[in-house]
Structure formats: structure tokens, C-alpha cells
Chain A
Amino acid sequence: GAVVSQHPSWVICKSGTSVKIECRSLDFQATTMFWYRQFPKQSLMLMATSNEGSKATYEQGVEKDKFLINHASLTLSTLTVTSAHPEDSSFYICSAPAWTGATDTQYFGPGTRLTVL
């Protein structure tokens, strides 16, 4: 099956600093990738759709200036949390769709746990 990786798997940073998270599709190309946020014991909340070669599409209520998304190539999307604060601490997961005959199937990365002190 398709494999998606994320780096780093966990990160701890000080309040006010920026953190970059990478999402890579390892064995397929993805013109679109998705970024999710998950709070403890909750479901995934879609933050934005990353589009290769164009601007990301953000879901309602997500600050685009705070969560910068860059889809640099067909296999790499990055999420940068700028001026991070403790409330940004969360589990961030990306996904990339791979065509499976009738529709795209989303394959998920292992997630990145961000802790802001």
C-alpha cells in the first residue's frame, strides 16, 4: 500500500518559536495533501488542503498566517506553526490520496506530536 511519512514524530519547543513539520508520500505522487489536527481523545479535524504549485485551502476558523502550508513538490508538503503557543500543542497528522480504481483513498502519516512550553 501507499506509504506516507512525517517528520519529526515529536517536537518540543518554546512559546514564540516556529516549528516545521514535513509530510512525504514515499512511493507515490500527490498533488493534494491534507493536514489534520487531533486533540486528546477526539476525532481528527481537517485544517487545510495542501495543493502542489498553488496556495493551500484552509478550513473555516483556521488561521492561515499561523499555520503556513507549502506544497513544494509532488511528494512533499510542509506545515509550519508560526509563533507557537501552548494552545497549539496537539497531534498533527497529514494524509495523501492515492488512486485506488474508483476513488482516492487517503493514506495517513504517523503523526507529529507538538508540545509548546
Chain B
Amino acid sequence: AQSVTQLDSQVPVFEEAPVELRCNYSSSVSVYLFWYVQYPNQGLQLLLKYLSGSTLVKGINGFEAEFNKSQTSFHLRKPSVHISDTAEYFCAVSVKAAGNKLTFGGGTRVLVKP
């Protein structure tokens, strides 16, 4: 079975400052990795994904994430946040053998302050 841990439940950050959201996973097999963002009362929007290849993945809205196999991590970063980045962020993994079902982390709430 897979598990995902998001180490920070809340991250307050000032506008234009950088932010990093931490995600660690556990799996006995290779996984695919995803970051999703959820704005209030909305569904989830895909930010980026790692399937294979380059470990640095660039996504939408200026976000990027780096896959580190040895540390089983997939941390999400943005060099300069905007007020509009205030949202809940979910890290997730899927395994082909498990029918590509997603296993989610607990989520990290990002609050961008002016």
C-alpha cells in the first residue's frame, strides 16, 4: 500500500515571498506523483505531475516540484506567491498496479498575506 505525508498542515506566507510545500511518500513499487490545488468550494485542479524522466517538473501558475527518489519526496515550490495562490494543496501518488487510484496526502493550506 502507498501512503502520502504532507508535513505542514498550514503554511502562512507573505505575498511575493517564496513557498515550499513538503510531500513525502511511501511505496514498495514505483509511483507516479501529482500535486493538485483546491480553491474554496471547488474541485481539484492539476498543478503538475511526475511520470518519468527529468526530476524537476514545471507546472501551471509558476509552480515546480522536484522528485527525489532517495528521499521519497516530491516537494512543491514557487519562487514568488500571489494572494490568488491562497488555497489548499494536495500531494498524491498513484500506482499502475492499483488501477491508477490516487492516494492523497492530508493537504496543506497556504495562506498568502499582503
Contact = CB atoms under 8 A, between A and B. Distances in A.
Are A and B bound to each other? yes
Contacts of A97: 100
Contact of B46 (A101, A105, A109, A111): A105
B63 interface: no
Interface of A: 1, 4, 6, 32, 34, 41-44, 46, 49, 91, 93, 95, 97, 100-111, 113
Given A101-B51, A102-B52, A111 B99 contact: no
Nearest to B36: A108
Contacts of B99: 32, 49
Contacts of A4: 43
A93 B49 CA distance: 20
Contacts of A108: 36, 43-45
Contacts of B69: none
Given A102-B52, A111-B41, 11 more contacts: A1-B46, A41-B109, A43-B104, A44-B44, A97-B100, A103-B94, A104-B94, A105-B49, A107-B46, A108-B43, A110-B43
A-B pairs with lowest CB-CB distance, top 8: A108-B43, A108-B44, A102-B51, A110-B43, A104-B100, A111-B43, A43-B104, A43-B106
A6 B100 contact: no
Given A101-B51, A105-B34, A113 B41 contact: yes
Interface string B72-114: 0000000000000000001000101001111011110100000
Interface residues of chain A: helix, strand, loop or mixed (majority): strand
Contacts of A100: 49, 51
Contacts, number: 60
7 contacts: A43-B105, A44-B104, A93-B44, A95-B44, A102-B52, A105-B34, A105-B46
B14 interface: no
Nearest to B42: A110
B67 to A, nearest CB: 14
A72 to B, nearest CB: 21
Contacts of B101: 34, 46, 49
